[in-house]
A and B are shown apart, each in its own frame.
Chain A
Amino acid sequence: MSALMIRNLHKSYGSLEILAGINLEAKTGEFVALVGPSGCGKSTLLAMIAGLETVTSGEIWIGDRLVNSVQPKDRDIAMVFQSYALYPTMTVRQNITFGMESRGVPKAAQAEAVQRVAALLQIEQLLKRKPGQLSGGQRQRVAMGRALVRDPKLFLFDEPLSNLDAKLRVDMRTEIKKLHHRVGKTTVYVTHDQVEAMTLASRIAVMNQGSVQQFDTPKRIYDRPTNMFVAGFMGSPAMNFIPARLTGSTSISVRAADGSDASLALAAPMPAGAPKDIVLGIRPEHIYRFTTDLKSRKPAVASMQAPVELVEPTGAETLAVLRLGDLEITGRFEPDDAPVMGETITLGIDMSRACLFDPTTKALL
């Protein structure tokens, strides 16, 4: 059974359409991430699931209940806000029990629930403090505690980590993942950070301009993005898009730095009816320095020459900016095997990992 089902959901403010027919589904226990650039409608969608925004048309099902016109408090959900939204005049304990008090849970049960959640999140020593006396990470924990104590059908997270500094964000990300494993609750998680989405989610819905571009597992989204938007949004550094021309059913040509055409063999034959002009999408980590050893390990590797314009060592890896025709593309190399600036290297491009797009529809071929 799915814990959350969204059918053809629309939202508009007057003539301004925010969501244009969203279909989405989360199975029980699943962790679904909604990811997209700001203004794509992901937060609106979450607010609609929570019942904080009205539905223009379409259906939202939580469990086996149509909740379109159900009050937020009756939807059996809990939500963690980007701003944490902790009640500033209440102690941590009062923050956590506020919802139970509203619902008339007996005092003894409240105390027990607070203990359980505080132990789970290791915030026992903070229970008497006010939110103003907590650090960012502690506030984050309390906000999660307030949600966890409810034991809801559905957890909603609205960019919960974006107010934390970079290191804490990574730590909390790990904790959220651990927590989800332990609690096993269905979760919908909104983020603009594609790394968060990739690391946490069992399925990702990539959104843009009010519609879901692709809804699939992180691996499928990364390896086989359905269109150029998804391909460009997921992954950092972004996928390289190289204009190419079909020269046969299994070969394409791209413009090299010196203006000549380099021919690359495709890993699989193109389907009939594909356009002549296409876009070759290749992720930076699928570009190597060509060696015979590489060719024997990865038979689908195609080679071409490219001058190295810039080298950016990050420690764990070295990024190199390579020139291809009028384009600059990025390759990701082992630091020990990295090209040097000014060098012209023979690239080995793993064509079995390449994505080919139609430049007019932007869709994957």
Chain B
Amino acid sequence: MAEIAPNARFDPEEAAATRRHFWSRFLVYAVLTLFAVVYLVPLLVVIFNSLREQSEIARNGLISVPRSFRFDAWAQAWGSYCVSGTCEGMKRNFFNSLAMTIPATIISTILGAMNGYILSKWRFRGSELIFNLMLLGVFMPGQISLMPWAFLLGKLGLTNSTYGLVLIHVVQGISFTTLFCRNFYVSIPDDLIKAARIDGAGFWRIFRKIILPLSPPILIVTVIWQFTGIWNEYLFGVVFTSGQQQPITAALVALTAGGTTARAYDVMSAAVLIGALPPLLIYLFGGKYFVRGLTQGAIK
């Protein structure tokens, strides 16, 4: 106790500094909170509407606090809402999306890791050129490739199928996954590869035993990026599939295009949330790895 005593004496300058510090902090947090609210309000409106009764929405308008809570709209949106004659809700489209996103994410990530490994650690004449050409894909909007894809899917007999979308997303995603992995692998010292070569390890053994164990940070980033990107993708889904084959993003549009009946804002809200849930969960559970992976080097 005796050691603390001198510090307890009042120091006006220190107190002023502490006060200044408090107010500057307060300002920062106030502004951040304001922005967070602004960004969260639309999400909140949709969540509220998914829990309100259609009649209540009609009475009090779209933006309002719910007077009653019920999950009927969620159940309808998932399994029984009628879209153009079939009354199965969104679940089939939800599973379509899963069946498209999971394989496309895994395959494009594996290919990206291998491309990155080759383009950073096994360079050959022209490998930089190939890398730069692949980078072009990052900047190429999807609609440019609509016609070629239509032609190719037709030739392969993959129109209106989930496999077709998997193929598209694997190919369209390779630019990104390659870029991520290659840039990460560049920071792994070449000496490791040389040492492994002297140790008798070949191309695959070095990849499996040395490169892959170092890769989790970038693989998590790549998987999150690909999963959210492919899940949320809309254009290819709506152009190359229809009805039962559509991924959920494309199917959501069909909800609004119902036409004849009054708009069921409660069901639409619930359906939108169902469609947004997987990427949201991925972000909630993987977000911190995403940020960490993007800023982390390969070693240590």
Q: Do A and B bind each other?
A: yes
A residues apposed to B, CB below 8 Å:
47, 50-52, 71-73, 77-79, 81-83, 85, 87-90, 98-99, 102-103, 132, 146
Contact stretch, chosen from B14-22, B124-132, B143-151, B198-206: B198-206
Which chain B residue lies CB-closest to A52? Answer: B194
B192 touches A85 (CB 8 A): yes
Which chain A residue lies CB-closest to B205? Answer: A102
Q: Is B214 close to A, CB under 8 A?
A: yes
Which chain A residue lies CB-closest to B214? Answer: A89
| Contact flag A102-B201 (CB < 8 Å), given A85-B189, A89-B214, A132-B300 | yes
What A residues does B189 contact at CB under 8 A? 83, 85
Q: Is B191 close to A, CB under 8 A?
A: yes
What A residues does B213 contact at CB under 8 A? 89-90
B214 touches A73 (CB 8 A): no
| Best-surrounded residue of B197, B200, B210 (most CB of chain A within 10 A) | B200
| Contact flag A88-B200 (CB < 8 Å), given A81-B194, A83-B191, A102-B205 | no
Q: Which single member of A79, A83, A132 contacts B198 (CB below 8 Å)? A: A79
The 6 closest A-B pairs by CB, nearest first: A99-B199, A102-B200, A89-B213, A85-B191, A73-B200, A85-B195
Q: How far is A208 from B200 in the complex, measured between Cα atoms in Å?
A: 32
Contact code string B178-201 (vs A, CB < 8 Å = 1, else 0): 000000000001011011111111
A102 touches B199 (CB 8 A): yes
B300 touches A73 (CB 8 A): no
B residues apposed to A, CB below 8 Å:
189, 191-192, 194-201, 205, 209-210, 213-214, 299-300
Q: Which single member of A83, A98, A132 contacts B196 (CB below 8 Å)? A: A98
Q: Which single member of B199, B214, B300 contacts A98 (CB below 8 Å)? A: B199
Nearest CB of chain A from residue B149's CB, rounded to whole Å: 40
Nearest CB of chain A from residue B46's CB, rounded to whole Å: 44
A81 touches B191 (CB 8 A): yes
What B residues does A79 contact at CB under 8 A? 194-195, 198
A72 touches B198 (CB 8 A): yes
What A residues does B200 contact at CB under 8 A? 73, 99, 102-103
What A residues does B198 contact at CB under 8 A? 50-52, 72-73, 77-79, 99
Where chain B touches its partner, the secondary structure class is: helix
Q: How far is A133 from B214 in the complex, measured between Cα atoms in Å?
A: 16
Which chain B residue lies CB-closest to A94? Answer: B209
Q: How far is A146 from B189 in the complex, measured between Cα atoms in Å?
A: 18
What A residues does B210 contact at CB under 8 A? 87, 89
Q: How far is A239 from B230 in the complex, measured between Cα atoms in Å?
A: 70
A87 touches B197 (CB 8 A): no
Nearest CB of chain A from residue B213's CB, rounded to whole Å: 4
Nearest CB of chain A from residue B214's CB, rounded to whole Å: 6
Chosen A-B contacts, 18 in total, with CB atoms closer than 8 Å, are A47-B194, A52-B198, A73-B198, A73-B200, A81-B195, A85-B191, A87-B192, A87-B210, A88-B214, A89-B214, A90-B213, A99-B199, A99-B200, A99-B201, A102-B201, A102-B205, A146-B195, A146-B199
A52 touches B214 (CB 8 A): no
A72 touches B192 (CB 8 A): no
A88 touches B199 (CB 8 A): no
Q: A47-B194, A52-B198, A88-B214 are in contact. List 13 more A-B contacts (CB 8 A).
A: A50-B198, A51-B198, A52-B194, A85-B189, A85-B192, A87-B196, A88-B300, A89-B213, A98-B209, A99-B200, A99-B201, A102-B201, A102-B205
Nearest CB of chain A from residue B176's CB, rounded to whole Å: 25
What A residues does B192 contact at CB under 8 A? 85, 87-88
Which chain B residue lies CB-closest to A102? Answer: B200
A73 touches B197 (CB 8 A): yes
B201 touches A98 (CB 8 A): yes
Which chain B residue lies CB-closest to A81? Answer: B191
Q: How far is A85 from B189 in the complex, measured between Cα atoms in Å?
A: 8
What B residues does A83 contact at CB under 8 A? 189, 191
What A residues does B195 contact at CB under 8 A? 79, 81, 85, 87, 146
Nearest CB of chain B from residue A242's CB, rounded to whole Å: 44
